[in-house]
Structure 1
Amino acid sequence: MPEPELSASLIFSRTPLAELVGLARRLEDAGYHRVCFGEAWREPVVPMTATLAATSRIGVGSAISQIYPVNPVVTAQQAAQLQELGAGRFTLGLGLGAGFVVERWFGVPYERPLRRTREFIEVVRGVLGSAEHGPFSYEGEIFRVRKYRLPFAEQAVGVPIHLAAIGPRMQELAGELADGIIVGSLHSPRSMEETKRRIDIGADRADRDPNEVALWYYLTCCVSNDSERARALARRSLVYLTQYPHYRCVYAEEGFGALAERIAGLARERAMERAEAAITDEMIDRFCIAGTVAECRDQLRRYAGYPGSPVLHLVPFRIEEDEVVESFRLAAQLAQAPAGARATT
């Protein structure tokens, strides 16, 4: 079996930026294809800039940048400069974020998500092309632009745009407009087939080849020299996901709806030990890879038939960030064939 094309998503709050960059360089040296930065406790532009400046081969992107708290013209400016800095290694990942986060943290009404996403992508593409195609104007229902042109580019700037999409209409929109789709942390062979079908519907709407739409899927990955400790961390990550309504819907689609609602209730009551204890081994085996390096390498084989490529991640929810960093340091070995495993000719 060929080695998987692996990516990693680095989401941290307190870990120093220099340490994040060092971790990205370690993953580059190990053979990872890309490293992504999510917009959670940190905004992603500064970490991406630092990482692009410190690396030379690995792809770097946002997965994801939230579209509610920012303007698409500014996002396009940032994307163009990141692409210049990285000599073509940058990918822009966009997404909605969670409604309660958008309204609580940014004070922006969580309204008209499909319309906002469509217009946001159209404006970003228009601005990126403005240096070659002339001043860009746009009259949308949400966004308006008057005769803007990128002042620091001499030709259109090519930046792949990937869209985080869980719901059916958003996945269809990704098939219609985006260069790629980013699927969240909960999925199965059945759900991935449904995702491909929705991409096809959107691509057909735009008269484009659905195979042009790259597919990345998040995969919770907990690596430790202690297998039981790795599974304990996986439980905490799965509890974290129950806090989000869109993930509870996916849990329900995969047959864990009532259990996920109960776990979410325990989390709201701050009964975290009970919430973690309610996570079943079946849920860990369905949605995570967790264990030693060798065990996780074996578990990755479950995804050999999946479309697209995995983005390994571990959210520091009730997990010390040093332990998350160590998990990624060990996970670097997953991109390398084990000793003695290379075929001879």
Structure 2
Amino acid sequence: MSRWGLTIPLTGLSLAEHQEIVTSLPALGYTDAWSAETNGTDAFTPLALASQWAPELRLGPAIVPVYTRGPALLAQQAATLADLAPGRFVMGIGTSSDTIVERWNGIPFEEPYKRVRDTLRFLRRALSGEKVKEEYDTFTVKGFKLEKAPDTPPPIVLAALRPGMLRLAAREADGAITNWLAPKDVRTVRSELGEEPELIARLFVCPTENADEARAIGRWMIAAYMTVPVYKAFHEWLGRGEALKAMNDAWAAGDRKRALEVIPDEVVDDLVVHGSPEACRARVREYVENGLTTPVLAIVPGGGLSAADAVRALAPDA
């Protein structure tokens, strides 16, 4: 196993409480730490701290929305992390969702494919030190140049859930990021991305042998994600449209309780890794065997383990 990542921050811990855990990660066999950005911490601050706590780790946001910061600010933040972790930072960008972009931030969620493409092209030029003056389809930049471009421009990877974005990642980026998929789905994603580019996936892992506990947690998470249009479309493409139809219908009708009840156990077991720590590690390796380059564990509290204990129990070298 070449790479084994962890999502930070961990649920239930403040950023300040992460220092000891993050410092321990390389010795446990973790190679990467990846942040996220929804309604908790921002994507960059946890990585800035991790860059100093564990200089061996590769770091990246999975992902930063391309709408909620201007292009120049995205370049500045990427350059800052590249300076803190030279040669060890990967910039992950994506559309995010209409909920985060439009409902929470009041920004129109328009032409997502073009916005990601344009941001990728701008960042390539800006992070190489070029002065950018360009009219893109979705924004215009008039003469921006980084005060200090990174000595080593960071790779850029794209959040990609369906063929169009996967093909863009294959053509112009350094890899793709996905999530909420089963091991068998990796082959479907690879069919569009190709065999060569890096494929990163956040895997939700609940280390408990109580299947009812794991499935109850998983149903809440699946309902929250799979009713969002981008994820609904993703799973229709993957072939789960019929399996999730009853959930989506109940959710659309405002019946949240019913929506949870009708999610099949098989779907939860497909999409949420659960069981003993040994079983969870074996399941993660199934993803790799099917073509995943970099598994990134998102630890879901369960089984009575503390966050630190779960990190240790799920380490590849455990």
Superposition TM-score tier, normalisation by shorter sequence: 0.7 to 0.9
How many angstroms does 1:251 deviate by?
3.0
In the alignment, the residues of structure 2 paired with residue 58 and residue 271 of structure 1 have an alpha-carbon distance, to the nearest angstrom, of 44
Q: How many residues align?
A: 316
Q: Name the % identity.
A: 27
How many angstroms does 1:266 deviate by?
4.2
Query: Residue 162 of structure 1 aligns with which residue?
Result: 157
Counterpart code for 2:189: T
Within a 5 Å distance, the mapping from 1:84-103 to structure 2 comes to 84-103=83-102
Q: Is the 8 A contact 1:223 1:331 kept in 2?
A: no
Label 1:254 to 1:144 Cα distance change in 2 as closer, same or farther (>3 A): closer
Q: Is the 8 A contact 2:9 2:15 kept in 1?
A: no
Counterpart code for 1:140: Y
Counterpart code for 1:117: V
Query: Residue 6 of structure 2 aligns with which residue?
Result: 8
Label 1:27 to 1:182 Cα distance change in 2 as closer, same or farther (>3 A): same
Counterpart code for 2:64: S
Counterpart code for 2:169: A
In the alignment, the residues of structure 2 paired with residue 310 and residue 17 of structure 1 have an alpha-carbon distance, to the nearest angstrom, of 22
Counterpart code for 1:7: G
Query: Residue 195 of structure 1 aligns with which residue?
Result: 189
How many angstroms does 1:239 deviate by?
2.5
In the alignment, the residues of structure 1 paired with residue 257 and residue 9 of structure 2 have an alpha-carbon distance, to the nearest angstrom, of 23
Q: Is the 8 A contact 2:246 2:263 kept in 1?
A: no
How many angstroms does 1:102 deviate by?
0.8
Question: Is 1:59 equivalent to 2:58 in the alignment?
Answer: yes
Match for residue 185 of structure 1 among 140, 161, 180? 180
SS at match of 1:335: coil
Query: Residue 216 of structure 1 aligns with which residue?
Result: 200
How many angstroms does 1:337 deviate by?
3.8
How many angstroms does 1:47 deviate by?
1.7
Within a 5 Å distance, the mapping from 1:302-321 to structure 2 comes to 302-307=286-291, 308-314=293-299
Label 1:220 to 1:63 Cα distance change in 2 as closer, same or farther (>3 A): same
In the alignment, the residues of structure 1 paired with residue 174 and residue 24 of structure 2 have an alpha-carbon distance, to the nearest angstrom, of 28
How many angstroms does 1:139 deviate by?
2.5
In the alignment, the residues of structure 1 paired with residue 311 and residue 115 of structure 2 have an alpha-carbon distance, to the nearest angstrom, of 36
How many angstroms does 1:277 deviate by?
3.6
Counterpart code for 1:309: T
Question: Is 1:112 equivalent to 2:111 in the alignment?
Answer: yes
Q: Is the 8 A contact 2:206 2:273 kept in 1?
A: yes
In the alignment, the residues of structure 1 paired with residue 19 and residue 69 of structure 2 have an alpha-carbon distance, to the nearest angstrom, of 25
In the alignment, the residues of structure 1 paired with residue 289 and residue 209 of structure 2 have an alpha-carbon distance, to the nearest angstrom, of 27
In the alignment, the residues of structure 2 paired with residue 328 and residue 281 of structure 1 have an alpha-carbon distance, to the nearest angstrom, of 28
In the alignment, the residues of structure 1 paired with residue 226 and residue 140 of structure 2 have an alpha-carbon distance, to the nearest angstrom, of 37
Label 1:337 to 1:50 Cα distance change in 2 as closer, same or farther (>3 A): closer
In the alignment, the residues of structure 2 paired with residue 286 and residue 169 of structure 1 have an alpha-carbon distance, to the nearest angstrom, of 24
Within a 5 Å distance, the mapping from 1:1-345 to structure 2 comes to 3=1, 5-10=3-8, 15-41=13-39, 42-130=41-129, 134-153=130-149, 156-189=151-184, 191-200=185-194, 211=196, 213-224=197-208, 226=210, 228-267=212-251, 274-307=258-291, 308-314=293-299, 326=306, 329-338=309-318
How many angstroms does 1:292 deviate by?
1.6
Q: Is the 8 A contact 1:37 1:62 kept in 2?
A: yes
Q: Is the 8 A contact 2:156 2:173 kept in 1?
A: yes
In the alignment, the residues of structure 2 paired with residue 95 and residue 243 of structure 1 have an alpha-carbon distance, to the nearest angstrom, of 19
How many angstroms does 1:282 deviate by?
1.6
TM-score w.r.t. length of structure 2:
0.87
How many angstroms does 1:279 deviate by?
3.0
RMSD, aligned α-carbons: 2.8
Q: Is the 8 A contact 2:213 2:302 kept in 1?
A: no
Could you tell me which runs of 5 or more consecutive residues in structure 2 were left unpaired when the two chains were aligned: none
Counterpart code for 1:278: V
